[in-house]
Structure 1
Amino acid sequence: MKRRSFLAGAGTAALAAASMPAPAIAQGASRQLKMVTTWPKNYPGLGTSAERLATRIHEMTEGKIDIKVFAAGELVPALESFDAVSSGAADIYHGAEYYWQGKSKAYNFFTAVPYGMTANEINGWIYHGGGQQLWDNLAKGFNIKPFMAANTGVQLSGWYRNEINSLDDLKGLKIRMPGLGGEVMRRLGAAAVTLPGPDIFPALQNRTIDAAEWVAPWNDMAFGFYRIAKFYYWPGFHEPGSSLAAGFNLKVWESFTPQQQAVVRAACAAENDYTLAEYTHHNGRALKTLVEQHGVQMRKFPADVLAGFKKASREVLEDAAASDPVTAEIYASFREALEISEEWTRIGDEGFVEARRN
């Protein structure tokens, strides 16, 4: 969402609030809510996005909704954030939906899937292609109302102690890679695990894992992976545009006034847009620093490895779709939206970038 539409949404909410009788909850004292996250405290981009969202909502409601943010491990462990909000132990989570694939494989499609949608494409599907309604229907079964609330853009394939010269080099490789990307790695013989962010560096350092995918240059540099693994691989096949979510306990969401719900929608959309711009800016700077100051060696996967990723990705997505009717319905919608947008992406974005480069 562009700044103009964000301000228009906020202005509409304010106008409506001024023209309608204020309900008791809006007239009284500030309402205190708890947000749990899957991110380290004050972590650049991810952690600060959660804090910014809380601040946006506080300011736009003139303090009537006051959100205290708890980083991973402060109130609950990172990967227990979903359950905390579902049960009502917390009010909101900020995290990546593919962390919840144990609840339903369908959750992967609302973060990123291998060879899936770019950030612009997933925004199109969620906002205009029916994705939000499908997501709402899925999350309602877990007592949650979800929103896109950040996007890190395209991610790289991660940090490796040793070079990957063929598919054989993936066999037995211990790698941190969550979601369906991790399943692709397993299909190709690697041992993929899901670890929350703070646990990745120690696992690399202790050789519990041989390689790790996290986000992209800005966040990866902050964790210092370059101090252990010097080979940084691209392109990222597993997360072409990673959407992050704010999930509200459904009863909490339904207790908001219409004006407050409008504010939350606008705040999440604004943060989604802002964070993508933030990552676009900082990743370029961080990549230059990693290569020029820290001696990181950028490596492109060989053609046979990329072909192996693509074949395995197709199988993994089809198997996920076959896991249950809800996932099948969401996958069908996702595929339809991707097929509609990918040709425009090719001749629009890719065509321009190629022309600019040449």
Structure 2
Amino acid sequence: MKKLLMKSMVAVSAIAVLASGAASAKELDVHLSIPKDLVFLSDSTKLMDKTLRDMSGGKMGFKLYGAGELVPAGEILESVGSGAIPAGWTFLGQWGGQVPVAKIAATPFGADPSVLASWLHLGGGLEIIQRGFDKLNVKVLACHVTNPEPGGWFNKEINSIKDFNGLKMRMAGVGARVLNELGASAQYLPAGEIYLALERGRIDATEFSLPIIDKQLGFNKIAKFYYYPGWHQPASVDTLLINMDVWKSYSKQEQAMMEAACQTSLMWTLNAAPPAQTPQIEAFEATGTVVKRFPDPVLAELRTVAEAVLEEEAAKDALYGEAYQSMKAYASAADRWNSLQSIPK
């Protein structure tokens, strides 16, 4: 992580010196898959915009559009690839159906946020992911890593693995398949559709993001039980997707500014999230939310199923398999170091 921070600082310093020679103003239209005012998730896009403007002397920046404002959230990838829009900001795992390697964005029982960010930018992870998007004419910049998410909001207690049988839950990525293996009916829903689905009983449970974000979406008004940990998504990646022709139209200096601003956003997401969550969890509890951990036997069985599912997914697609094995090895090396350095509380 220290090496990643140094890389970001060096890039920012070098680009700032060159910024005065940037080309004419280039404001990039960026279409979000989430509401433009959604706390934290959209804040990283605004930070990247500000950083770009500061480094370029106002010659580069973003014009942000919220989910569905001009393009439906589910059509952003196709629209960016075709050139219908120049850029989008989305959860990478949203595109796992079209680009299997994108599923690596949220790996059950996978790497933690700092290790995932390090693997992406120093361990070759982003290069592997990019190969999956090359055929779609899309450049991928990994500018946001979300800290561990809660396990989800439920209308009933989860006391055993059997409680997932028949459960209708909003969940994204490989975690959804894990639950389906246990008899659940897990499906992806975009942010703007979750509350209504939960309110009307179309789903019994949902996961989405950090407590401060879940608060804004109002899940605590409907579901009583708030479970931890987020086994399905210990860390997740949001990306800036840019049409490749648009990306190539930038000078090397402009591309470097874009990547440096991306690193600034990434570092902010890693550092800003943890201290903001506990006060929100306590506020939920004060209004009746029951905060619980999944029982250890449930987590153990989820891990067993998840490992089998991940191996099957890796066998189905060579590029996803390469990414999964690469991340797994990188995380294993970090785990040895972290365990040696851990200090008992």
- 1:14-44 Cα distance to aligned partner (Å, 9 max, x none): 33456xxx5xxx443x223210111112110
1:55 matched to 2:57: no
Q: In the TM superposition, what is the alpha-carbon distance from 1:5 to its structure 2 partner?
A: 5.0
- 1:62-96 Cα distance to aligned partner (Å, 9 max, x none): 22224211111101112222112111111221111
The unaligned stretches of length 5 or more in structure 1 are none
- 1:322-345 Cα distance to aligned partner (Å, 9 max, x none): 112222222221222122112223
Q: In the TM superposition, what is the alpha-carbon distance from 1:202 to its structure 2 partner?
A: 0.7
**Contact 1:119–1:243, Cα closer than 8 Å, also in 2:** no
Q: Relative to structure 2, which stretch is displaced further, 196-205 or 298-307?
A: 298-307
**Contact 1:14–1:259, Cα closer than 8 Å, also in 2:** no
Q: In the TM superposition, what is the alpha-carbon distance from 1:265 to its structure 2 partner?
A: 0.8
Distance in 1 of aligned mates of 2:289 and 2:307: 31
Distance in 1 of aligned mates of 2:83 and 2:252: 21
Distance in 2 of aligned mates of 1:33 and 1:120: 28
Could you tell me which residue of structure 2 aligns to residue 187 of structure 1? 181
1:327 matched to 2:327: no
Residue 316 of structure 2 aligns to a residue in which SS? coil
Could you tell me which residue of structure 2 aligns to residue 113 of structure 1? 107
The 5 Å alignment of 1:207-356 reads 207-291=201-285, 293-348=286-341, 351-352=342-343, 355-356=344-345
Residue 208 of structure 1 aligns to a residue in which SS? coil
TM-score (norm 1): 0.91
Cα-Cα RMSD: 1.7
Distance in 1 of aligned mates of 2:114 and 2:9: 20
Q: In the TM superposition, what is the alpha-carbon distance from 1:319 to its structure 2 partner?
A: 1.1
Could you tell me which residue of structure 2 aligns to residue 90 of structure 1? 85
1:100 matched to 2:116: no
Number of equivalenced pairs: 343
Q: In the TM superposition, what is the alpha-carbon distance from 1:169 to its structure 2 partner?
A: 1.1
Residue 63 of structure 2 aligns to a residue in which SS? strand
1:76 matched to 2:71: yes
- Which of 59, 65, 68 pairs up with 1:64? 59
Distance in 1 of aligned mates of 2:133 and 2:38: 27
Distance in 1 of aligned mates of 2:6 and 2:328: 30
- 1:95-149 Cα distance to aligned partner (Å, 9 max, x none): 111100011221111x221011100111221122111221222221211111221
Structure 1: which 4+ aligned runs deviate by more than 4 Å?
A: 1-5
Distance in 1 of aligned mates of 2:135 and 2:279: 42
**Contact 1:96–1:243, Cα closer than 8 Å, also in 2:** yes
- Which of 117, 130, 134 pairs up with 1:136? 130
CA spacing shift, 1:27–1:131, aligned 2, 3 Å: closer
Distance in 2 of aligned mates of 1:229 and 1:40: 22
Could you tell me which residue of structure 2 aligns to residue 166 of structure 1? 160
Distance in 1 of aligned mates of 2:54 and 2:42: 19
Could you tell me which residue of structure 1 aligns to residue 12 of structure 2? 10
Distance in 1 of aligned mates of 2:334 and 2:6: 24
Q: In the TM superposition, what is the alpha-carbon distance from 1:59 to its structure 2 partner?
A: 2.7
Could you tell me which residue of structure 1 aligns to residue 35 of structure 2? 40
| Equivalent residue letter for 1:137 | R
Distance in 1 of aligned mates of 2:7 and 2:325: 30
Q: In the TM superposition, what is the alpha-carbon distance from 1:235 to its structure 2 partner?
A: 1.2
Distance in 2 of aligned mates of 1:90 and 1:51: 19
Percent identity over the alignment is: 32
Distance in 2 of aligned mates of 1:113 and 1:64: 38
**Contact 1:105–1:323, Cα closer than 8 Å, also in 2:** no
Distance in 2 of aligned mates of 1:201 and 1:274: 28
Distance in 2 of aligned mates of 1:197 and 1:173: 20
Distance in 2 of aligned mates of 1:231 and 1:206: 17
- 1:286-338 Cα distance to aligned partner (Å, 9 max, x none): 112111x2121112212332122111111111111111222222222122212
| Equivalent residue letter for 2:150 | L
| Equivalent residue letter for 1:11 | S
1:205 matched to 2:207: no
Residue 322 of structure 1 aligns to a residue in which SS? helix
**Contact 1:163–1:231, Cα closer than 8 Å, also in 2:** yes
| Equivalent residue letter for 2:12 | A
Distance in 1 of aligned mates of 2:192 and 2:77: 18
Distance in 1 of aligned mates of 2:8 and 2:261: 8
| Equivalent residue letter for 2:100 | K
Q: In the TM superposition, what is the alpha-carbon distance from 1:54 to its structure 2 partner?
A: 2.1
Distance in 2 of aligned mates of 1:346 and 1:209: 39
